[in-house]
């Protein structure tokens, strides 16, 4: 079997279609004034369709999380070098594969429960691409800390969505997956600190990669602290997952900065449209 499998070679059947992350994040519809609201608020007319789309995004994210954790078990020789992985880390990644496989099954059933079909929404593959980093610590910050940290925020949001709509199937299933994601993010936090304790440069590079991924997913106001942001930071769960208060504050700043950039981009596009 080949090491470092490129994203183009992921196994998908004909039901799946792929889109670029840039097209998802910079979708001009997200910049319209009508989009500057909480599109998952249960009072919003399209909230259930948006929740179905988000659930499908979770489903493909679970597949990629399984693939990424599996690759980290396989791609590296054992050891403590930058191109190696310690046995304990591989054991944690194997444990994560077990969880993610279960999450894929739960997500398929939740999608059906919500009225969706596999492939109804396009798949973007940033999670797997972050899991192709040649340094295992950057995989941990990009995937476990940034993207599975985002999963914590999203699952908490979906859990609350199910609770408000009196849907115990959605609320309980999200809660169970959320508990696992907290352990996955904690694994990322613990291994980051352990493997970079004597190497501040490696730690800096890993945290910079995490910030870049976090910013990408906060662009367009998807996640933030305001009422109009559909997904809010799940602070208590992040504390449980090994985020310090300083790191949580920093993430709040990153999300606010990304939202302001989106607002500025919206204003300049509106100005161009008016001139035209």
Select from 46-54, 56-64, 217-225, 262-270 the region that touches Fe ion (CB under 5 A).
Answer: 56-64
Among 71, 184, 223, 238, interactor with Fe ion by CB under 5 A: 184
Q: How far is the CB of 181 from Fe ion (least distance, A)?
A: 5
Give, in order, the Cα–Cα distances in Å from 59 to each of 43, 103, 112, 129, 171. 25, 8, 11, 16, 16
Select from 80-88, 103-111, 164-172, 211-219 the region that touches Fe ion (CB under 5 A).
Answer: 103-111
Q: How far is the CB of 37 from Fe ion (least distance, A)?
A: 28
Q: Which is nearer to Fe ion, 75 or 181 (CB)?
A: 181
CA 176 to chain centre: 17
Among 148, 153, 174, 214, interactor with Fe ion by CB under 5 A: 148
Q: Note whether 103 binds Fe ion by CB under 5 A.
A: yes
Q: Which is nearer to Fe ion, 185 or 262 (CB)?
A: 185
Residue with tokens 């070679």: 9
Q: Which is nearer to Fe ion, 67 or 135 (CB)?
A: 67
Q: How far is the CB of 185 from Fe ion (least distance, A)?
A: 8
Residue 18 is classified by DSSP as: B
Among 31, 51, 65, 137, interactor with Fe ion by CB under 5 A: 65
Residue 143 is classified by DSSP as: I
The H or E element that residue 84 is part of is strand 84-85
In DSSP terms, which residues pair with 78 in a beta bridge? 85
CA 150 to chain centre: 4
Select from 80-88, 148-156, 158-166, 251-259 the region that touches Fe ion (CB under 5 A).
Answer: 148-156
- CB neighbours of 209 closer than 8 A, spacing ≥ 6? 130, 133, 138, 141, 142, 146
Q: Which of 84, 72, 88, 207 is nearest to 138 (CA)?
A: 207
Select from 25-33, 38-46, 129-137, 146-154 the region that touches Fe ion (CB under 5 A).
Answer: 146-154
Buried b (16+ CB within 10 A) or exposed e, 124-137: bbbbbbbbbbebbb
Instruction: List residues binding Fe ion (CB under 5 A).
Output: 62, 65, 100, 103, 148, 181, 184
């Amino acid at each position: 079997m080949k090491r470092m499998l490129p994203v183009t070679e992921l196994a998908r059947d004909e039901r799946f279609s792929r889109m670029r992350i840039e097209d998802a994040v910079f979708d001009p519809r997200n910049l319209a004034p009508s989009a500057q609201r909480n599109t998952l608020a249960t009072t919003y007319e399209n909230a259930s369709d948006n929740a179905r789309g988000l659930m499908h995004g979770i489903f493909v994210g679970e597949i990629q999380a399984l693939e990424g954790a599996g690759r980290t078990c396989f791609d590296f020789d054992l050891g403590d070098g930058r191109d190696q992985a310690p046995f304990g880390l591989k054991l944690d990644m194997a444990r994560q594969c077990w969880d993610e496989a279960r999450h894929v099954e739960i997500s398929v059933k939740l999608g059906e429960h919500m009225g969706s079909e596999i492939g109804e929404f396009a798949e973007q593959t940033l999670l797997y691409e972050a899991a192709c980093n040649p340094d295992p610590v950057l995989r941990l910050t990009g995937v476990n800390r940034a993207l599975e940290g985002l999963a914590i925020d999203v699952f908490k949001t979906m859990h609350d969505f199910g609770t408000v709509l009196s849907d115990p199937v959605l609320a309980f299933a999200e809660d169970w997956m959320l508990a696992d994601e907290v352990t996955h993010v904690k694994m990322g936090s613990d291994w980051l600190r352990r493997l970079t304790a004597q190497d501040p440069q490696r730690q800096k590079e890993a945290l910079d990669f995490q910030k870049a991924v976090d910013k990408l997913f906060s662009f367009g106001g998807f996640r933030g602290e305001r009422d109009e942001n559909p997904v809010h930071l799940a602070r208590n769960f992040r504390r449980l997952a090994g985020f310090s208060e300083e790191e949580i504050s920093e993430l709040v700043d990153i999300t606010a900065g990304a939202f302001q950039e989106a607002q500025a981009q919206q204003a300049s596009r509106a100005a161009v449209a008016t001139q035209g």
